[in-house]
Amino acid sequence: MNRVVVSAFLAFFALTQAPAWAQAAPVQQQISLSASGHVEAPQDWLTVRMGLTREGADAATVQNQLKAAIDAALTTARAQARSRQMEVRSGAFGVSPRYGRDGKINGWQGSAEVVLEGRDVALITATAGKLPTLTVNSMGFSLSREARRQLESEVQAQAIERFRARAAEVTKAFGFSSYTLGAVSISSTDEGARPMPRMMAMEAKAAMADAPLPVEAGTDTVSVTVSGSITVR
């Protein structure tokens, strides 16, 4: 009987004390939020893609013609190259069959590119004008990797500080006194000038014949977004 009485008393004690324990536990709530930082900076990197096309009855002949023209253009351009001021490299290169109305191959066509890029706009445009066998496929400004890396570090710090400020503001607005940080993700984006359309670029090539192409850089906007969750209490 004593054991039965003791067991009943402990069960009663647990039931009567449970609400008190629940009330003692702090109320918590998880909230998701995000904050962004951005900065606009002048573009400092010009990329010019120049190319040519060839057609013929034999694939090997077309390929050799493209190779000879690109090798000559690379030799001319590399003589003017300077690290990070104007860098020279080959671009896309391909040969594909040309089909007639009967669905059979009646020849071959190919295209190849040379890419000029760097910070020295005058040098790049002047060099492009010295490659008479090529036409401009596209041209566009962007941020150099060094400038982008530096800007992303600055903007990331800005976004993190805004996230912390917003977390504190939201915590107070919901009537809580403190928060702890949960999972966080950081992403970056950029918005800059797009390459010059092919038709405009080919017109630009004609202007290069007598003088360097007049070009003007725009700006890029680098943005960093911090998203995550906080637990308020």
pLDDT of residue 184: 96
- Give the largest CA-CA distance in the chain: 114
Q: What is the pLDDT of residue 213?
A: 58
pLDDT in the model for residue 5: 45
pLDDT < 50 regions, the chain: 1-2, 4-15, 20-21, 193-200, 202, 207, 209-211
What's the angle, vertex CA 185, arms to CA 184 and CA 186, rounded to 5? Answer: 130
Amino acid at 199: M
Q: Residue 65: what pLDDT?
A: 98
pTM: 0.73
Could you report the per-residue pLDDT of 116-166, keeping only the tens digit for each? Answer: 999 999 999 999 999 999 999 999 999 999 999 999 999 999 999 999 999
